């Protein structure tokens, strides 16, 4: 089958930010977005509304859903309402479903309650020739955390743990790369975290980089010596795979899908996994987190080599793209 027979619609550009947009851009380099006369719709969760999909499906267009995850109570008010289009696409419209992790599949089993015969688990991926370590990586004490920080519970324990790390390693530095959420209470990240940094007298040790572009990401990862990912029940975070590809050991919240990615390449901290309907987002214990960060720093060379190897062998973009091509070829016949 020639690639020109595959005409995929991913949705309108600029509809979203973060991980969804990253996946679409990576696919678009491989197969461009077709805005009309397409024969396949590829939607990440509900990026393309069910109403659009339903009309296209009636005309014979095949539907592939990349199922990252689902909203549960702590992450969205009226979360059931926000889940309705994702579940509708999954249960009633998708011809094939790609789950981003085993954890994503378990979430679908719980919320959608409809098994999909045509489905598979396919982890996110990166270009390991673009995301790679510097040639002469030096031992150091630079700690990095990155992403979109929606909750204080994702950053507060990291900052408090870092205070303990600095006591042992005064040369340590923490970089926080990514957008800080503006909101109230648990969502008040943009005000609360800089305030905490100031309160703990860490201003000279912590750098806030703000939101960054994908093209800039390797330049952020390469100076680091360790990556911390404290988000609770994350699905299949691109930032963790990118950090691994850049040879960084991972200290992580050992819940959700992250443990599937990291395995022996980092140090996980378990928290009690709450039921989906409960309000609380459990955060990591700062003292335990500090211990793991210091252990990760001490073993950064060995763990970093393992992380890079695992990323190359399991999460390289070529295998991910080829699998998508196989799925699209099947439906474009």
DSSP per-residue letters across 93-119: I-SEEEESSHHHHHHHHHHT----SSE
Whether 271 is covered by a domain: the verdict is yes
Helix (H, G, I), strand (E, B) or coil at 291: helix
What would the mean pLDDT of 272-291 be, rounded to a whole number? 82
Whether 54 is covered by a domain: the verdict is yes
For residues 120 and 154, membership in a common domain is answered with no
Helix (H, G, I), strand (E, B) or coil at 182: coil
Whether 72 is covered by a domain: the verdict is yes
Number of domains in the chain: 2
For residues 286 and 325, membership in a common domain is answered with no
For residues 223 and 206, membership in a common domain is answered with yes
Tens digits of per-residue pLDDT, 182-219?
988 888 999 999 999 999 999 999 999 999 999 999 99
For residues 77 and 150, membership in a common domain is answered with no
For residues 183 and 296, membership in a common domain is answered with yes
Shortest CA distance to 291 belongs to which of 204, 162, 200, 193?
A: 162
**Residue 230 pLDDT > 80:** yes
For residues 76 and 196, membership in a common domain is answered with no
User: How many CB atoms lie under 10 A from the CB of residue 134?
Assistant: 12
For residues 110 and 200, membership in a common domain is answered with no
Tens digits of per-residue pLDDT, 80-95?
888 999 999 999 999 9
Decide: 248 and 227 in contact? Cβ < 8 Å. yes
Half-sphere exposure of 266 (CA within 13 A, CB side): 33
| pLDDT attached to residue 80 | 84
Tens digits of per-residue pLDDT, 60-81?
999 999 999 888 776 667 778 8
Listed range (96-110, 144-158, 178-192, 271-285) with the worst mean pLDDT: 271-285
The band of 132, judged by pLDDT with boundaries at 50, 70 and 90, is: very high
For residues 307 and 249, membership in a common domain is answered with yes
For residues 25 and 105, membership in a common domain is answered with yes
H or E element at residue 259: helix 258-262
Decide: 46 and 89 in contact? Cβ < 8 Å. yes
The band of 2, judged by pLDDT with boundaries at 50, 70 and 90, is: low
For residues 20 and 115, membership in a common domain is answered with yes
Residue 51's domain is classified under what CATH number? 3.40.50.2000
Whether 133 is covered by a domain: the verdict is no
* Cα–Cα distance, 191 to 189 (Å, whole number): 5
List, in order, residues 6 or more apart from 271 with CB less than 8 Å away. Answer: 232, 253, 254, 255, 282, 283, 284
* Distances from the Cα of 54 to the Cα of 57, 61, 133, angstroms: 5, 9, 45
Whether 210 is covered by a domain: the verdict is yes
For residues 304 and 244, membership in a common domain is answered with yes
Q: What is the residue range of 281's domain? A: 142-314
For residues 48 and 160, membership in a common domain is answered with no
* Radius of gyration in angstroms for the set of CA atoms belonging to the chain, rounded to a whole number: 20
**Residue 281 pLDDT > 90:** no
> Longest C-alpha distance within the chain, in Å?
65
């Amino acid at each position: 089958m020639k690639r020109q027979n595959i005409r995929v619609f991913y949705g309108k550009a600029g509809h979203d930010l973060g991980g969804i947009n990253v996946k679409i851009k990576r696919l678009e380099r491989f197969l461009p977005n077709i805005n009309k006369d397409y024969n396949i719709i590829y939607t990440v969760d509900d990026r393309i509304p069910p109403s659009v999909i339903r009309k296209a499906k009636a005309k014979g267009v095949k539907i592939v859903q990349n199922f990252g995850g689902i909203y549960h109570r702590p992450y969205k008010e009226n979360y059931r309402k926000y889940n309705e289009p994702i579940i509708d696409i999954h249960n009633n419209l998708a011809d094939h479903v790609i789950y981003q992790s085993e954890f994503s599949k378990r979430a679908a089993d719980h919320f959608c309650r409809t098994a999909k015969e045509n489905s598979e688990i396919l982890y996110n991926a990166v270009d390991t020739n673009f995301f790679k370590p510097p040639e002469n990586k030096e031992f150091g004490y630079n700690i990095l955390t990155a992403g979109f920080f929606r909750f204080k519970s994702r950053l507060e324990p990291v900052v408090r743990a870092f205070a303990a790390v600095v006591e042992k390693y005064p040369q340590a530095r923490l970089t926080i790369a990514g957008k800080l959420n503006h909101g109230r209470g648990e969502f008040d990240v943009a005000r609360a975290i800089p305030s905490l940094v100031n309160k703990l007298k860490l201003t000279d040790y912590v750098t806030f980089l703000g939101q960054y572009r994908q093209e800039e990401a390797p330049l952020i990862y390469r100076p680091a010596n360790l990556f911390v990912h404290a988000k609770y029940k994350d699905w299949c975070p691109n930032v963790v795979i990118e950090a691994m590809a850049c040879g960084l050991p991972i200290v992580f919240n050992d819940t959700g899908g992250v443990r599937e990615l990291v395995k022996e390449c980092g140090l996980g901290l378990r928290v009690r996994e709450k039921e989906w309907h409960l309000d609380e987002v459990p955060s990591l214990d700062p003292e335990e987190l500090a211990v793991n960060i210091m252990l990760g720093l001490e073993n950064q060379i060995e763990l970093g080599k393992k992380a890079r190897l695992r990323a190359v062998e399991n999460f390289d973009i070529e295998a991910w793209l080829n699998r998508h091509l196989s799925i699209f070829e099947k439906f474009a016949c």
